[in-house]
Homo-oligomer: A and B are copies of this chain.
Amino acid sequence: MTESRISGQVRIVGTGLLGASIGHALGARGVDVILHDASRANVTLAIDYGAGRAATPGDDPVLVVVAVPPDVTADVVAAELAAWPRAIVTDVASVKSGILADVTATGADASRYIGSHPLAGRERGGAIAARADLFVGRPWVITEGSTAGRRLIEDLVLELGAVPVTMTAEQHDASVALVSHVPQVVATLLARRLSAAPDTAVALAGQGLRDTTRIAASDPELWVQILGANAVPVTEILRAYRDDLDAVLAALDKPDAPGARRTVADALAGGNAGVARIPGKHGQAKHFSQLVIMVDDRPGELARLLTEIGEAGVNMEDLRLEHSPGAQVGLAEISVLPEVEERLAAELGARGWKIAGAFA
């Protein structure tokens, strides 16, 4: 007897970061996990790491999870639908409409296909990096399909500790274009400006540039596929972005012309309004106060700070570290509820911590 919501075998096709992580998690819940990969070496590695077992002639999966690159997802889904006539088939690719259309076009029994997408991507990955807890607390989009099929995928999502979110394939693609694919392009093209810049300029980089360009470290091969597969919603948003950029460029070409400052100010205010909509911790767009505290670059110093914050009875809502080039000291930006900020600053000051800033 299994403790899982899923009774029956689950077959996972593609044993990269996502596929192997799903295997680990389901295996830990007692599910019989069958692994398959186009690469014999990959599947052997994933089995060695404990993500599941090899396929056998008697397999009879109730669910097939296709976790292969976006470019080949539709073909693999169609093949799995044909191979397992009683199974529900899902995929985890970060684009959905095109795959649904392609699966339907193959003539496969698309009534048993439910596209889904865990928002658990990272800049870097690979089978060895797979962990059972990769999806905990992350949204996982489930697109349209039969009620029984959606219920099974929802069981899978809950089993993995993720948060099921239901929307159509089109809604999904437009949403991820906005919150993931366009940011990738924007960050990539900004980082690209740095590649030929003088060292003296790059040396002035601060946390703002680091944050704005972090995702530019993502895997080009994967992102070429994602951007190509979701080109329509991505270009729609990028075109609106470029129109805004052109307006700002025109205004900055003649910064003292009538209306120029207004154009730039409107853009900046629009940015304020947009960033305020992004949910913070626990999905709330709450306002916290920040204390910036100097931390010596010695082992244990940050632990000591956090321990003393705990001793002060204050729950830290967020923490960011900032480093300055050449400095042997870091800054820890602690977010707390506004009503405890003053007391915490006083307590930490009394304990000898240097407060480098406080912000509401």
Contact = CB atoms under 8 A, between A and B. Distances in A.
A57 interface: no
Interface in A195-230: 195, 197-198, 200-206, 208-218, 220-221, 223-224, 227-229
Nearest to A17: B357
Nearest to A21: B357
Given A217-B272, A227-B252, A278-B202, A359 B192 contact: no
Contact of A299 (B189, B239, B278, B315): B315
A264 interface: yes
In the complex this chain forms, how many copies of it are found? 2
A7 interface: no
A229 B121 CA distance: 40
B245 A204 contact: no
B192 A178 contact: no
A95 to B, nearest CB: 12
A45 to B, nearest CB: 15
A218 B188 CA distance: 22
Contacts of A359: 122-125, 129
A77 to B, nearest CB: 20
Interface in A106-160: 119, 121-125, 128-129, 131, 133-134, 136-139, 141
Contact of A216 (B121, B191, B249, B272): B272
A353 to B, nearest CB: 11
Interface in A69-102: none
Given A205-B278, A231-B255, A320-B321, A307 B310 contact: no
B241 A228 contact: no
A200 to B, nearest CB: 6
Given A194-B274, A200-B167, A205 B306 contact: no
A185 interface: yes
B138 A357 contact: no
A13 to B, nearest CB: 22
Given A238-B248, A268-B224, A134 B200 contact: no
A235 B249 CA distance: 6
A190 B200 contact: no
Contact of A203 (B238, B267, B279, B282): B279
Contact of A192 (B138, B216, B270, B316): B270
Contact of A214 (B195, B275, B294): B275
Interface in A252-276: 252-253, 255-256, 260-261, 264-265, 267-276
Contact of A302 (B220, B249, B268, B319): B319
Contacts of A191: 270-275
Which 9 pairs between the two chains have the least Cβ-Cβ distance?
A137-B327, A283-B325, A188-B271, A303-B306, A191-B274, A220-B268, A137-B324, A194-B274, A216-B271
23 contacts: A136-B294, A137-B328, A138-B206, A139-B324, A141-B204, A165-B200, A171-B201, A175-B204, A185-B245, A185-B267, A202-B277, A208-B215, A210-B278, A212-B215, A213-B274, A216-B272, A216-B275, A220-B268, A239-B249, A242-B246, A300-B306, A300-B307, A307-B307
